[in-house]
Structures are given as structure tokens and as C-alpha cells.
Amino acid sequence: MLPNTPIQFEHVFKTYSIDIHNKSTALIDLSFSVKQGEVFGIIGPNGAGKSTALNILLGFVFLDKGSVTIAGKRPNSTSCNLEVGYLAENPCLYRNLTLTEHLRFAGTVAGYSSVASRKRIEELLFQVDLAHVANKKIRHFSKGMTQRAALAYALFHKPKILILDEPMSGLDPVGRKMVIDIICDYNKAGNTVLFCSHILTDVQRICDRIGIMNKGKMDQILNSIDITDEKNLETIFIQTVSR
Ligand SMILES: Nc1ncnc2c1ncn2[C@@H]1O[C@H](COP(=O)(O)OP(=O)(O)OP(=O)(O)O)[C@@H](O)[C@H]1O
């Protein structure tokens, strides 16, 4: 069972050292939480600290001060990794392996038997609509197909929490819709989603709550239900980041 607050940032600070004299401040007192079963979208201008926040949550980057929990545990602990799926902005799949080979590997890592793994692969190929290219090498995939393949890989172990960095970037409208539908289906099954994106239309369409990050902190959190249309979100965004 996941806690009611599967993701929590409390007063998180992060500064990168660029060289011996220069530092770059990414997060300044970042606090927010994501509730069980919601889709939470983070938007914000370039350099606001969105990727740094996700990287800390996944344990790729260490925070300087504050605390972060995911699935009630410290980032990157073995028990929390079983609950978490992650899709990077530019997923690193092996160009010379097929999608089936990737998924079989995910099954082995997740401890599935070969029979259970075969069944799960079939389900996922159907879900991401890639059964027809299951045995093609990833290097022959388009950007949209690669994104869906990576999503299948991230979902293999049925994580309760899905983290996505710019999941729709670079996709055409059909590819975007497919990825959005997969995320929405996954959420309807009771799972929690946190993602960051620059595409306000998509954020508006799929999120329960939207956090606007600016200059390393969470400036405000909006309930999607209170935003009448996409223009409205754009206006709030621009007002927030130009303060
Ligand atoms: N590895 C790094 N080394 C040094 N500085 C970094 C590093 N990663 C990020 N930064 C700095 O931290 C700040 C926040 O960057 P971050 O990538 O988290 O922002 P972002 O909101 O994800 O931006 P974008 O929308 O452009 O992806 C920026 O000033 C950036 O230059």
C-alpha cells in the first residue's frame, strides 16, 4: 500500500558546482506534494528547476538540504524502485535490440517467469499499439514509436507511480494523443503520475493539479478544474514567470 502522499518535497535546496569559482542554483526551498491517484503536472520556464526536481526524486542527483520521499521512502531505495516507473525525455533504448528483447529484459529484471513475462509483453504491445513492430530493432523506430516503446518498458513491472520528463515533446499530434491516452489509462487504474512539460494544452488536458515552478521554487499550484481554458493557463503562466 502506498502512503496518501506518494511524492513529497520539503524545503529542498540544490546548487550545482560548475567549476571551482562558479555555482548554479537550481532549487531554492522547493516544497510540494503529489496525492495518491492524481496526475500532477509541473510547468515552468527553461531553467526553473523541473528536471533537477525529477532527478532528485529518482535518486540521480543528490539534494543539498531538505527532504524528499517517494512511495514513503528515500529516492532510489530498492523497495521504492519496485513502485516507480520512469520515462526520460530522450529514452536510452538499445538501437540494435528489438522491442521484444527490451521487454524480455525488463521482465527478467522484474523477476517475472518466462511465461508471465510473455503474457505481460503481449499486454503491453497491445496497450502501446506496437505489436506489429515488436520484432523490429529500435533503430528503425520513429520518435513517437520509441517514446511508446520506452513507456512500455517503464510500465512493465506495473509501478504505482509514474514519473515522466517531457513525455510528449517532439511528437506529432497522433503520437501525442497515443501517449496521453496511455498515461490517462494508467491513471484511471488508480496510479499516480508526475510529469513536467512545456506543452500547456496537454498539461491542461490530463492533469488534476498543475504546479508552476519558477526560479527554483514552486510558485503556485492550480486545480485544473479552476482553469477555464488553455488561454487562461497561458496567461497565468506568463504572469507568474514575469514577476
Ligand atoms: N548538471 C548541471 N550542472 C550545472 N548546472 C546545472 C546542471 N543541471 C541543471 N543546472 C542548472 O540548474 C538550473 C535548473 O536547471 P533544470 O534543468 O533543472 O531546469 P528545467 O526547468 O528542467 O529547464 P528546461 O525546461 O530547460 O529543461 C539551471 O540554471 C541549469 O543551468
pLDDT digits (tens, 9 = 90+) for 57-92: 999 999 999 999 999 999 988 888 889 999 998 898
What kind and span of H or E run contains 53?
Answer: helix 50-57
Count of Cβ atoms closer than 10 Å to residue 96 Cβ: 9
Q: Which atom of ligand 1 is nearest to the CA of 198?
A: 25
**Side chain identity, residue 202:** D
Asked whether 197 lines ligand 1 (CB < 6 A), one says no
Distance 23 CA to ligand 1 centre (A): 12
Question: pLDDT at residue 125 above 80?
Answer: yes
Ligand 1 centre distance from Cα of residue 54 (Å): 11
Q: Taking each helix axis from N to C terminus, what angle separates 143-155 and 114-127, rounded to the nearest 10 degrees? A: 140
Asked whether 51 lines ligand 1 (CB < 6 A), one says: yes
Is 44 a pocket residue for ligand 1 (Cβ < 6 Å)?
yes
Expressed in percent and rounded to 5, the helix, strand and coil fractions of the chain are: 40, 25, 35
Give the separation between CA 167 and CA 234, rounded to whole angstroms: 19
Quick one: CATH architecture of 91-158? Orthogonal Bundle (1.10)
**pLDDT attached to residue 102:** 97
Q: How far is the CA of 51 from the centre of ligand 1 (A)?
A: 7
Nearest CA to ligand 1 atom 28: 47
To the question of pTM greater than 0.95 for the whole model, the response is: no
Choosing from 25, 51, 237 the residue with most ligand 1 atoms within 8 A of its CB, the one to mutate for a pocket test is 51
**Can you name the CATH fold of 1-83+160-243?**
Rossmann fold (3.40.50)
pLDDT over 70 percentage in the chain: 98
Place of cell 569559482: 21
1-83+160-243 and 91-158 have identical folds: no
Largest CA distance in the chain: 57
Instruction: Convert the pLDDT of each residue in 186-239 to its tens digit.
Output: 999 999 999 999 999 889 989 999 999 999 999 999 998 888 776 788 999 999
Task: Write down the pLDDT at residue 1.
Answer: 53
Tell me, rounded to whole angstroms, the distance of Cα 75 from its chain centroid: 14
* Residue 8 · residue 197 · CB < 8 Å: no
Q: Which pLDDT score is estimated for 2? A: 59
pLDDT-derived band of residue 130, with 50, 70 and 90 as boundaries? very high
Per-domain boundaries in the chain: 1-83+160-243, 91-158
Q: How far apart are the first and last CA of the chain?
A: 41
Q: Whose CA is nearest to atom 26 of ligand 1?
A: 46
Strands 84-87 and 7-17 turn out to be unpaired
Mean pLDDT within 122-137? 95
